Structure 1
Amino acid sequence: MSPILRAALWMTGSIASFSAMAVAGREVSGSLDTFEIMMYRSFVGVIVVVAIVAGTGAWRNIRTDRLGTHLVRNLAHFTGQNLWFYAVTVIPLAQVFALEFTSPIWVIVLSPLVLGERLTAVRAMAAIMGFIGILIVARPDMAGLNAGVITAASSAIFFAITIMLTKRLTRHEGIASILFWLTTMQLIMGIVMAGYDGDIALPDVQTGPWVFLIGCAGLLAHYCLTHALSIAPATVVVPIDFIRLPTIAVIGMVVYGETIDAWVFIGAAIIFAGNYVNIWVESRQSKPL
């Protein structure tokens, strides 16, 4: 199997995990604020990562020579994720994901400058087709501009920074090291921000399972995404994530009764077409002669 197809398979795990995290985040939003959600998410993540690292003897892979890059990456992600968790509580899930998906445009434009990757015509076409599909699904207008729309759109910028810095880190460090610093640094950030007012809410019997799901899904999503980025260029991996939009649109309709119409499927068809052409061309080019 070619690296491009393997990266596409890893991204399916990321898509499922991010979708589960959106639903769980909305379910606990009535009891916990976004900082508390991030704190508990990171706490679960630390437990899982430390257990795996200790069980596999991978402590030697936890590196400390790029803590500055880790800190900037995790600050960007912590900020973007808080904005994202707020957005999923106030606007339809499909709209959140649609606005979040402007981040691949930033990645594709900035990757040649930040990562030194080549922007091919096929990659640019996939990104443009994906963005067109998103616009068809979301059909944004100024009348719908509100705090949820603004925070969702803002989160995309921070997620783009996160993706590019993750790709840079994968050149020198393994996934265990990246996930260890992701969870530990963001746990500290979460404790500081959640406790600044002297009151941190505790999960109850109803919210506890959702909090656990957020922690596990968030960790699995980053594991899959980081693994995909380690074997394929960011400008190839990121457009695949567009598939999350029609997926979450269906989930929003089934679980929360959010409106869905034929335009969602028209946009999804364009998104799938762009991804298929991108993966097909990249796979053919990666085959040995």
Structure 2
Amino acid sequence: MSGTLFSFCLMAIGARELSGELSVFQILLCRSVIGLLCICISIVISISTQKINLRTDRLGLNIFRNIFHFAGQYGWFLGIGALPLAEVFALEFTVPIWTLIIAAIFLKEKITLTKIVSVLLGMAGVLIIVQPGYAIVDPISFIVLGAAVCYAISHTATKSLSASESAISILFYMCLIQLPIGLLLSIGNWSWPVGLQWLWLIIIGMTALSAHFCMAKAMQYAEVTKVITLDFLRLPLIALVGISLYAETFEISLVLGGALMFIANLVVLRRRRVS
């Protein structure tokens, strides 16, 4: 989880450093290229010791998943360049709440009182952070919320795919499908990276993979509730990064709203463990 926290924070710094210099679509294209190269190298290295199956019978669902995942990444990177880093991370914590709702609708998962309480707590956290009617609401906040919904749809599709696909297969098709999408959308506004921009692009590509790899490994060794608890440390950590590197102010509403969403996530996870 230390690797996860470090990766997410470093990826956010890279996104902020490239904001306004390269288009988000171009950043996402380079992220897919680097990710695909890393996965292919990993496959070549391990092919002598284990059989890796990349075949899929659910290409349509893979495409569906990655369209929404790409849209979620676009909104997240857009938010990183326009909002305080802590606000983007706090709003991102609504992903499990949206996932509950979407899974109930499309996967026919049972709606329980626990889940309803979790959703209400999560929505209260969003209202505290965005403060509609009290502060001037930045439209980018709603884009980041939209990104969280897209991530939730992607996670729901991943849950369905994981029943028949390996993790390496899901990651492989993620990069393979998103690469041409990024290329198509960035080609009209292309500018070649220079100097440190190349370094930041490599960092974004590598940390995007390492963050999810480290979290997946953490879930193998610890209960999900412990992983989620540690993952919540991203909020104060990225707040410190924003304050120290970008002179951002830290609002107490972010702590209160983020804490409510954290409690909402734990309510559902602890209920699952008991049942």
Are the aligned partners of 1:239 and 1:275 in contact in 2 as well (CA < 8 Å)? no
Counterpart position of 1:191: 183
Distance in 2 (alpha carbons) for counterparts of 1:84 and 1:93: 10
Change (3 A) 1:280 1:165: closer
Distance in 1 (alpha carbons) for counterparts of 2:253 and 2:139: 25
Percent identity, aligned pairs only, is 35
Counterpart position of 2:58: 66
Counterpart position of 2:88: 96
What pairs with 1:66-145 in structure 2 (closer than 5 Å)?
66-141=58-133, 143-145=135-137
Deviation at 1:188, TM superposition (A): 1.4
Counterpart amino acid of residue 246 in structure 2: Y
Counterpart amino acid of residue 29 in structure 1: S
Aligned partner of residue 173 in structure 1, secondary structure: coil
Equivalent in 246, 254, 257 of residue 256 of structure 1: 246
Distance in 1 (alpha carbons) for counterparts of 2:258 and 2:139: 26
Deviation at 1:144, TM superposition (A): 2.7
Deviation at 1:61, TM superposition (A): 1.5
Counterpart position of 2:197: 207
Deviations 1:197-231 (A, max 9, x none): 2x522222211221111101212334456678999
Counterpart amino acid of residue 180 in structure 1: F
Change (3 A) 1:224 1:206: same
Q: CA RMSD in A?
A: 3.5
Counterpart amino acid of residue 53 in structure 2: N
Counterpart amino acid of residue 206 in structure 1: L
Are the aligned partners of 1:61 and 1:177 in contact in 2 as well (CA < 8 Å)? yes
Distance in 2 (alpha carbons) for counterparts of 1:122 and 1:246: 27
**174-183 vs 212-221, which deviates more?**
212-221
Counterpart position of 1:6: none
Distance in 2 (alpha carbons) for counterparts of 1:129 and 1:166: 25
Aligned partner of residue 191 in structure 2, secondary structure: coil
Distance in 2 (alpha carbons) for counterparts of 1:113 and 1:239: 27
Deviations 1:132-169 (A, max 9, x none): 34443443447533442232222122112111111111
Change (3 A) 1:242 1:104: farther
What pairs with 1:20-59 in structure 2 (closer than 5 Å)?
20-57=10-47
Counterpart position of 1:156: 148
Distance in 2 (alpha carbons) for counterparts of 1:223 and 1:159: 17
Structure 2 spans left out of the alignment, 5+ residues: none
Counterpart amino acid of residue 147 in structure 2: S
Query: Are 1:180 and 2:172 an aligned pair?
Result: yes
Aligned partner of residue 207 in structure 1, secondary structure: helix
**103-112 vs 136-145, which deviates more?**
136-145
Deviation at 1:190, TM superposition (A): 1.1
Are the aligned partners of 1:14 and 1:221 in contact in 2 as well (CA < 8 Å)? yes
**147-156 vs 12-21, which deviates more?**
12-21
TM norm structure 1 = 0.79
What pairs with 1:227-242 in structure 2 (closer than 5 Å)?
none
Deviations 1:38-84 (A, max 9, x none): 01111110111111112112664212311111111111111221122
Change (3 A) 1:268 1:71: closer
> How many correspondences in the alignment?
273
Are the aligned partners of 1:28 and 1:207 in contact in 2 as well (CA < 8 Å)? yes
**268-277 vs 58-67, which deviates more?**
268-277
Are the aligned partners of 1:100 and 1:153 in contact in 2 as well (CA < 8 Å)? yes
Are the aligned partners of 1:170 and 1:230 in contact in 2 as well (CA < 8 Å)? no
**144-153 vs 78-87, which deviates more?**
144-153
Equivalent in 158, 170, 177 of residue 162 of structure 2: 170
Equivalent in 7, 11, 19 of residue 17 of structure 1: 7
Deviation at 1:93, TM superposition (A): 1.7
